C-alpha cells in the first residue's frame, strides 16, 4: 500500500482518481507484455452489439483460464504446417529446429526456473489429475501404522476424489483420508494449525498433499515450512500447484519437496485442458528401484529404440513420463513460456501485489459493508475471493459479466477476481471496482 500511496502523492492525486490508474499503467515496467496476448472484445465475450462492444473486455479470470498468447497461436500453426509437410519426418527433422522427439526438453528447460527446479526435476505429460495419480502410485506406500494422506478439507474436488480413490485402491479405511480444517468461523487455514496437526498425527501420515494456493480462498500456503515439518515426521510431501504455477515464486528444489503437479492452462496460459507439468526432486533422479507406473517414453532415451523390453528409466522426472509428448498441446505451452522468459516470477509477483492491493483498497473504501474479502493480505497471489450477501450476489456477478468484466463465481456467494500481471492493468482493476460499486448501490 505504501508504494501506491507514494505514487499518488508524487502526482498530487488521489488513489481514487481515474488518472492514477492511467499513470500506473504508463509507468508499468511489465506493461509491454500485454501486447503478447489476444484480449477479447466486450462484444465477443458478452454477445452484445452495443456502443462499447468493440472495446477490449476486462479479463480477470486467469485463475480459471489464461488468455491466448499470440506466440502460442503462431507455434501451434507452425506445428500443424510441419505435420502437413513433413509427416513422421518431423519427429527428427524439423524446419524450425523443434524436433518432436526432443520437444519436452525445450519445455522443461524453460519451465523449470519458474518452479525453482532444475530441468532434470521437471516433466510434462497428461493432465493434472492423471499426474496426481501417477505420483501417488510412486510415492504413496501405506503401511500398517503409516497409511494416511493429508489434504485440506475444501481441496478442489478432483484432488479429493483422486486421493480418496487412491486410498480405496490400496484397501485403506475411510479414516485414512485426513482433512485439515479451518477453525470454527474461519475460512482459511492457519499455518500453525497445519503444523500442529502434522506434529500430532505425523507418524500415521504417509503423504501430505496440500494445494500450493487454495483454489477457493486464494490463500498461499507456507510450502517451505509445511514441507520441512512433514518430512521431519517421516512423511512424503507433494503439492498440487494448479493455482500456484505461473502465479507465485516457487523454490521446489530448495524446499526439498518430494513431488508436485500442476496444470498449465490457468496462469500459464497453455489453453483449455492444456498439458500438465510435474516435479520430482533430483534425489530420486537415479533411483531406478523406485516403483512407478511406467511406459515406453520413460525408458532411457539412449536405448529406447532398441526395444529390449527391459525397463531402464530415464534419470529424473523424464523417467516418469509414460508416453511421448503431445506436440499440439505442448506447442501452446511453449508459446506462453516464451512470454514468461521475458520477465521473472519475482517481478510478476511485485506487480501482482500492487494490483491486488489496489483492488482491495478500492473495494474496502467504496463497498466494504457489502463485501468480505477472504483472501489473506499477507499470503496471496493474483486472486482475491469476495463474499457477497446472497441477495446481492447475482446482481453483482451479472453486472460484471454484462459490462465485459470477466471473472468467475462459486455459488452461493463467492466471486473470484484475478488481475494477472502478465496482461492486466491498473485500469482493469479500476473498471472492475467501479462496476461492483455501481451494482451494489442500484
d(CA 25, CA 262): 31
For residue 287, what pLDDT is reported?
93
Q: Is the pLDDT of residue 368 over 90?
A: no
pLDDT of 376-397, one tens digit each?
999 999 999 999 998 899 999 9
What is the average pLDDT across 149-173?
97
For residue 364, what pLDDT is reported?
94
Q: Using alpha carbons, select from 284, 349, 351 the residue that is nearest to residue 315.
A: 284
For residue 1, what pLDDT is reported?
83
Helix (H) or strand (E) holding 177: strand 177-180
Task: Name the H helices within 11-156.
Answer: 18-26, 42-46, 70-86, 103-111, 128-139
How does residue 5 score in pLDDT terms, banded at 50, 70 and 90? confident
Cβ atoms 305, 101 nearer than 8 A: no
What is the average pLDDT across 306-312?
94
pLDDT of 213-232, one tens digit each?
999 999 999 999 999 999 99
Composition of the chain by helix, strand, coil, percent to 5: 45, 15, 40
For residue 18, what pLDDT is reported?
87
For residue 52, what pLDDT is reported?
83
- The strand pair at 259-262 and 276-280 is best described as antiparallel
pLDDT of 103-120, one tens digit each?
999 999 999 999 999 999
Which segment of 1-5, 148-152, 427-431 scores lowest on mean pLDDT? 1-5
Cβ atoms 252, 115 nearer than 8 A: yes
For residue 86, what pLDDT is reported?
97
Q: Is the pLDDT of residue 442 over 80?
A: no
Mean of pLDDT over the chain: 96
pLDDT of 274-293, one tens digit each?
999 999 999 999 998 899 99
d(CA 364, CA 373): 9
pLDDT of 71-85, one tens digit each?
999 999 999 999 999
For residue 254, what pLDDT is reported?
98
pTM, 2 dp: 0.96
For residue 279, what pLDDT is reported?
98
For residue 9, what pLDDT is reported?
86
What is the average pLDDT across 164-177?
98
d(CA 30, CA 342): 9
For residue 51, what pLDDT is reported?
79
Three-class DSSP category at 208: strand
Residue 180: phi and psi, rounded to 5, are: -85, 120
Amino acid at each position: 500500500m505504501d508504494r501506491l500511496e507514494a505514487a499518488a502523492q508524487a502526482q498530487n492525486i488521489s488513489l481514487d482518481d481515474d488518472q492514477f490508474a492511467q499513470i500506473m499503467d504508463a509507468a508499468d515496467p511489465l506493461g509491454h507484455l500485454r501486447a503478447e496476448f489476444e484480449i477479447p472484445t466486450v462484444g465477443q465475450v458478452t454477445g452484445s452489439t452495443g456502443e462499447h462492444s468493440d472495446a477490449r473486455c476486462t479479463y480477470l479470470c486467469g485463475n480459471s483460464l489464461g488468455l491466448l498468447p499470440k506466440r502460442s497461436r503462431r507455434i501451434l500453426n507452425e506445428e500443424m504446417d510441419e505435420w502437413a509437410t513433413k509427416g513422421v519426418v518431423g519427429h527428427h527433422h524439423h524446419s524450425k529446429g523443434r524436433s518432436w522427439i526432443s520437444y519436452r526438453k525445450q519445455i522443461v528447460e524453460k519451465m523449470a526456473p519458474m518452479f525453482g527446479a532444475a530441468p532434470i526435476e521437471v516433466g510434462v505429460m497428461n493432465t493434472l489429475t492423471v499426474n496426481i495419480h501417477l505420483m501417488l502410485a510412486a510415492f504413496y506406500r501405506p503401511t500398517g501404522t503409516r497409511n494416511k494422506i493429508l489434504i485440506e478439507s475444501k481441496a478442489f474436488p478432483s484432488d479429493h476424489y483422486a486421493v480418496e480413490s487412491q486410498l480405496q485402491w490400496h484397501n485403506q479405511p475411510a479414516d485414512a483420508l485426513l482433512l485439515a480444517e479451518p477453525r470454527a468461523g474461519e475460512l482459511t487455514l492457519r499455518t500453525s494449525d497445519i503444523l500442529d496437526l502434522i506434529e500430532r498425527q505425523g507418524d500415521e501420515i504417509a503423504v501430505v498433499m496440500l494445494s500450493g494456493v487454495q483454489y477457493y480462498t486464494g490463500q498461499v500456503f507456507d510450502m517451505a515450512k509445511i514441507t520441512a515439518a512433514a518430512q521431519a515426521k517421516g512423511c512424503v510431501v507433494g503439492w498440487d500447484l494448479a493455482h500456484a504455477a505461473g502465479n507465485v515464486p516457487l523454490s521446489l528444489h530448495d524446499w526439498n519437496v518430494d513431488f508436485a503437479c500442476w496444470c498449465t492452462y490457468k496462469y500459464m496460459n497453455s489453453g483449455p485442458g492444456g498439458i500438465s507439468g510435474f516435479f520430482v526432486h533430483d534425489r530420486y533422479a537415479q533411483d531406478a528401484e523406485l516403483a512407478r507406473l511406467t511406459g515406453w517414453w520413460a525408458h532411457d532415451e539412449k536405448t529406447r529404440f532398441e526395444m529390449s523390453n527391459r525397463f531402464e528409466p530415464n534419470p529424473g522426472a523424464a523417467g516418469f513420463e509414460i508416453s511421448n509428448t503431445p506436440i499440439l498441446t505442448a506447442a501452446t505451452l511453449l508459446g506462453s513460456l516464451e512470454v514468461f522468459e521475458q520477465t521473472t516470477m519475482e517481478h510478476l509477483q511485485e506487480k501482482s501485489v500492487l494490483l491486488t492491493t489496489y483492488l482491495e483498497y478500492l473495494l474496502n473504501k467504496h463497498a466494504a459493508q457489502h463485501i468480505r474479502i477472504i483472501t489473506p493480505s499477507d499470503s496471496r497471489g493474483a486472486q482475491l475471493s469476495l463474499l457477497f450477501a446472497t441477495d446481492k450476489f447475482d446482481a453483482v456477478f451479472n453486472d460484471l459479466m454484462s459490462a465485459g468484466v470477466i471473472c468467475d463465481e462459486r455459488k452461493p456467494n463467492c466471486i473470484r477476481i484475478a488481475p494477472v500481471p502478465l496482461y492486466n492493468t491498473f485500469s482493469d482493476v479500476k473498471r472492475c471496482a467501479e462496476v461492483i460499486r455501481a451494482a451494489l448501490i442500484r
